Amino acid sequence: MEVLAPAGGQEALRAAVYSGADAVYLGGPAFGARANAKNFTREELREAAVFCHARGVRVHVTVNTVLKDGELPAALEFVSFLCSLPVDAVLVQDMGLFSLLRERAPSLPLHASTQMSLHTPGGVKLLYGLGAERAVLARELSLQEIREIAEGCPIEIESFVHGALCMSVSGQCYFSAMLGGRSGNRGMCAQPCRLPFAAPGGTGHDLSLKDLSFLRRLEELEAAGVCSAKIEGRMKRPEYVAAAVSACRKAADGEAVPEQLTRDLEAVFSRSGFTQGYLTGERGVSMFGIRTKEDVAGATEKVFSSLRGLYRGERQSVPVDMTLVQDGSSLLLEVRDREGRRAVSQAPVGEGAALPRERCVQQLAKTGGTPFRAESVAAPEAGASAGVSTLNALRREALQSLLEQRGQREPAPFADIPWTPPARKDPPRWKRLPVRACFHSADQLCAEVKGCQELALPLGTGADTLRRLREEGYPPILLEIPRAMFGGEARIRRQMEERMEEGFSAFVCGNLGAVALCRELGAEAHGSFSLNIGNTAALECFRQLGLSTAEASFELTGREFSALGGELPRGLMVYGRQALMLTRNCPLANSRRGCLHCKEPGFLTDRKRVKFPVQCTAAAGVRSVEVLNSVPLWLGDREKELKHADFGVFRFTVENSVETGEILRVFFRQETPGFDYTRGLFSRGVE
């Protein structure tokens, strides 16, 4: 397996390479999901590419944030620069950028970031068909679920094996954005989940998971189809990187991980120890943990000093073959690597007695201090007329020349096609904003729904209920495919087929796996907020993938939303408690009682005693949890600023039927709401 290491700065890069990484991933000055890491300037990126390539280490660069229209030209120019180095892969989250890069740099390997929330065979297969070479899978998958994905698609599979676990599915967390204006989808996460959020009977830190460590079981991941073992930690110290890479290297090579190294790795950074969590299929209280005083105390200078020894010098990992020839008055040393590169050094023949062949071989094989390892050394049977210092000079010169050759690569082609957002075609014309009313349950329905343009219900809503609503004159019904589909794709497909046979063939898609199912079944697809559509190129990409409409990201301001171009009809959330997290591990289960089997939504309480509803969803055998905002969004009185929307989304989660009716009446009558609300990010936006 490939050992893939984080590099948050130059010292961490050296630590990763010298400790045995096969590849590193790092970020540039912008557009990376860890904006607060040290990261690399352009010149440092160039130096890093040369340094790594010379040592046979691949370089992956993160360009994995959600982008806005005004940022796309700069992002494209940055990737053009990366192609000039060239890097070995670029990690991408934004579907707009992904589609533009496939057009401009078809030979550049693109890796689908874990921020794409990929967790189904269909979603991964869709990205592979669009040109992704590798998928970085969601951390919440089990080994069996990873195996199903790998067996269904020839794409390379990358999986996290060590490091921090987010409580939320990556790409589906809006906590930092909503609470502090710092978007995790744009690399600015402030990690509010590590602060106190208390569940009834919990620990008081019920959104904080332990770090993952699956290093001792890499062979099981490899058997499941994973080709790259990824270590999290671009914001961690070089000593941590060295320890994690060293342990992962030994495990990948089939060696035992020394107990002392394991203890040092836990000491340098852990949260109440480690968990194997999702990969084993086990969830619950054992996965939760925080950084305790004892954890901090374990990170002593003695531990750090010991770990620095892991990357104090070059790792001799590049095999070479050496051939020494005495040709008349000259000595020639030729060095070749496994890729066919060749370097030659030359020196005059000495006047003294010839060194024996064995001594020549012994001296030339001393490649310490370089990344090279002499696999074979050939020398004349009669030895060579040269002193030891001459042989040393020949070796140094040849190896340095070969090192420089290895650091140089041909640039990857990049077509410099200018991009400007296409103008909006057929802007909407309405007297009142059309409403798409989305419900968590049919029990929340009220008579006012008949005044809406569309009604969205969960896919699992019973066929009898759907038929009754249709007969009673409710608006056209969309069925919402679960945002979390872990291991449930086949069951969800069957449900969709059953509903389509009943004449319900329009679906709301909140992830790429759902889009893939609609394409497979020929169903009508409508995009939800969790597709993270933030620019015109993304809208156009999803239009080409078959969406009939799309709800834009609620991280856009009203002005940014209005500026979106293209042809795809689009909407924006107008009312509802925004989903701050989508998680597979319920925070309310972090208690001695375990799962509370809630009949009504529970809640988390923060340190200011603000309550955040927690809503559990079970669909097609898949259970997932959303942590909702403490107050609902309300833009119902901002219709003038929504004139570019084709529809407004009202999302009802914890409300009962009386409350939903009152909220819709307030909107239809243009009255002042009688409840607390937020304007969300509509005006203030996010970093």
Predicted confidence (pLDDT) per residue in 490-525, tens digit: 999 999 999 999 999 999 999 999 999 999 999 999
3-state secondary structure of 194: helix
- Determine the pLDDT at residue 514: 98
Tens of pLDDT, residue by residue over 541-587, are 999 999 999 999 999 999 999 999 999 999 999 999 999 999 999 99
Helix orientation angle between 238-252 and 10-18, rounded to the nearest 10 degrees: 20
Given strand 330-337, what is the order of strands in its sheet? 342-348, 330-337, 318-327, 372-378
- For residue 408 the two structure tokens come to 């140089």
**Residue 15 near residue 49, CB atoms below 8 Å:** no
At which residue do the structure tokens 């390379």 appear?
156
Neighbours of 143 (CB within 10 A): 21
Neighbours of 292 (CB within 10 A): 13
In this model, does residue 426 exceed pLDDT 90?
no
> Residue 38's pLDDT band (boundaries 50, 70, 90)?
confident
Could you tell me how far CA 101 lies from the centroid of its own chain?
Answer: 18
Poorest-confidence range of 44-48, 540-544, 598-602?
Answer: 598-602
Helix orientation angle between 121-130 and 512-521, rounded to the nearest 10 degrees: 80
- For residue 604 the two structure tokens come to 């988390």
Q: Which residues, in sequence order, are bridge partners of residue 374?
A: 320
State the pTM of this model.
Answer: 0.96
- The one-letter amino acid code at 432 reads R
Count the residues in the chain. 687
**Residue 618 near residue 608, CB atoms below 8 Å:** no
Question: What is the spatial distance between Cα 442 and Cα 446, in angstroms, rounded to a whole number?
Answer: 9
Burial class (CB within 10 angstroms; exposed 0-12, middle 13-18, buried 19+) of 685: middle
- Determine the pLDDT at residue 623: 85
Tens of pLDDT, residue by residue over 92-104, are 999 999 999 999 9
Question: What is the spatial distance between Cα 287 and Cα 390, in angstroms, rounded to a whole number?
Answer: 60
Helix (H) or strand (E) holding 404: helix 388-406
Identity of the highest mean pLDDT range in 285-294, 571-580, 600-609: 571-580
In this model, does residue 486 exceed pLDDT 80?
yes
Largest CA distance in the chain: 107
Share of the chain above pLDDT 90, in %: 91
> Residue 312's pLDDT band (boundaries 50, 70, 90)?
very high
In this model, does residue 353 exceed pLDDT 80?
no
Higher pLDDT among residues 189 and 618, named by residue: 189
Tens of pLDDT, residue by residue over 105-132, are 999 999 999 999 999 999 999 999 999 9
- Determine the pLDDT at residue 206: 95
> Residue 354's pLDDT band (boundaries 50, 70, 90)?
confident
Q: CA dist 144 to 98, 204, 398, 532, 584, Å?
A: 29, 32, 49, 28, 16
**Residue 58 near residue 24, CB atoms below 8 Å:** yes
> Residue 228's pLDDT band (boundaries 50, 70, 90)?
very high
> Residue 589's pLDDT band (boundaries 50, 70, 90)?
confident
**Residue 454 near residue 670, CB atoms below 8 Å:** no
- For residue 38 the two structure tokens come to 């040290």
**Residue 160 near residue 274, CB atoms below 8 Å:** no
- The one-letter amino acid code at 139 reads R
Question: What is the spatial distance between Cα 664 and Cα 674, in angstroms, rounded to a whole number?
Answer: 12
274: Cβ contacts below 8 Å, ≥ 6 apart = 210, 211, 212, 213, 266
Q: Count of H helices and E strands in the chain? A: 21, 28
Question: What is the spatial distance between Cα 102 and Cα 128, in angstroms, rounded to a whole number?
Answer: 12
Neighbours of 386 (CB within 10 A): 24
43: Cβ contacts below 8 Å, ≥ 6 apart = none
> Residue 37's pLDDT band (boundaries 50, 70, 90)?
confident
**Residue 240 near residue 261, CB atoms below 8 Å:** no
- Determine the pLDDT at residue 632: 98
Rounded average pLDDT over 390-410: 97
DSSP string covering 528-541 = -GGG---SHHHHHH
> Residue 617's pLDDT band (boundaries 50, 70, 90)?
confident
Question: What is the spatial distance between Cα 578 and Cα 175, in angstroms, rounded to a whole number?
Answer: 10
CB burial string 656-677: b at 16+ within 10 A, e below: ebeebbbbbebbeeeeeeeeee
- Determine the pLDDT at residue 39: 86
- Determine the pLDDT at residue 619: 79
Q: Which residues, in sequence order, are bridge partners of residue 332?
A: 325, 346
In this model, does residue 620 exceed pLDDT 80?
no
**Residue 682 near residue 636, CB atoms below 8 Å:** no
Question: What is the spatial distance between Cα 55 and Cα 570, in angstroms, rounded to a whole number?
Answer: 49
Identity of the highest mean pLDDT range in 294-308, 583-597, 660-674: 660-674
77: Cβ contacts below 8 Å, ≥ 6 apart = none
To the nearest whole number, what is the mean pLDDT of the chain? 95
Helix orientation angle between 388-406 and 357-364, rounded to the nearest 10 degrees: 40
- Determine the pLDDT at residue 4: 98
Could you tell me how far CA 381 lies from the centroid of its own chain?
Answer: 57
